[in-house]
Amino acid sequence: MTASVPGESNHEVVGPRGVEPRTVEARAVEPRVVEPRPGKGAFPRSARLLRHADFERVYKQGRRHFSASMTVFYWPRPQVEVVVSKGPVAKPHVAPGLRIGFTVGRALGGAVQRNRMKRRLREAVRFTRPPAGPNADVVINPKKSLLTVDFSAVVNEVSRAFVVIEQKLAGKAGAAAGTEQKNSESLKPEA
């Protein structure tokens, strides 16, 4: 008969294949490093595209930006003041700036691969989404190569897409403002 000390165990913990088993004492000594995610909540629901009609509008009326592992569709939202009423028919608040959605078709793989693509894109958007920018709806449509590309490359592509969208929409707004200014100058009577 052997004596045992209460609270101690000499049982081995079985690990995954190819990994040596460890004792319980060894596992307790190894600290697990978990880093907090910076910017928790940086991609709120109000900044996402959720309705089918919004996605369709971006696809049909918007423009495209192509990169190595994704296609980004964008559509400038018109400036509309949203009146939020205090009643049963309250309209949802539309956040200023970019509203972003993702579409991953079944042709890109099974559910596991498609969900992994969406998680990678969501995290890349969370890191790079500009807090203030043009009012636009954006749909990111990945290519199959997104699964094999390094995450830093995905972040760079998403960041570059946001910069291009901001430049194109700022140029378009600037050109429209310039045209309005020229038209108003031409209507002035000459002295």
CA distances from 103 to 89, 155, 159 (A): 30, 17, 18
DSSP string, 2-16: ----TT---PEEP-S
Say yes or no to pLDDT of 59 above 80.
Answer: yes
> Which pTM value belongs to this model?
0.64
pLDDT of residue 36: 44
Q: Domain spanning 45-185 has what CATH number? A: 3.30.230.10
Residue 34 confidence class, pLDDT cut points 50, 70, 90: very low
pLDDT digits (tens, 9 = 90+) for 95-135: 677 899 999 999 999 999 999 999 999 999 988 888 777 88
Beta-carbon count within 10 A of 80 CB: 8
Instruction: Decide if pLDDT at 191 tops 50.
Output: no
Whether 81 has a pLDDT exceeding 60, the answer reads no
How much is the pLDDT for 79? 72
Q: What is the pLDDT of residue 115?
A: 95
Give CA 131 to chain center in angstroms.
13
Give percent helix, percent strand, percent coil of the chain, each to the nearest 5. 40, 15, 45
Q: How many CB atoms lie within 10 A of CB 20?
A: 7
- For residues 131-158, give the mean pLDDT: 91
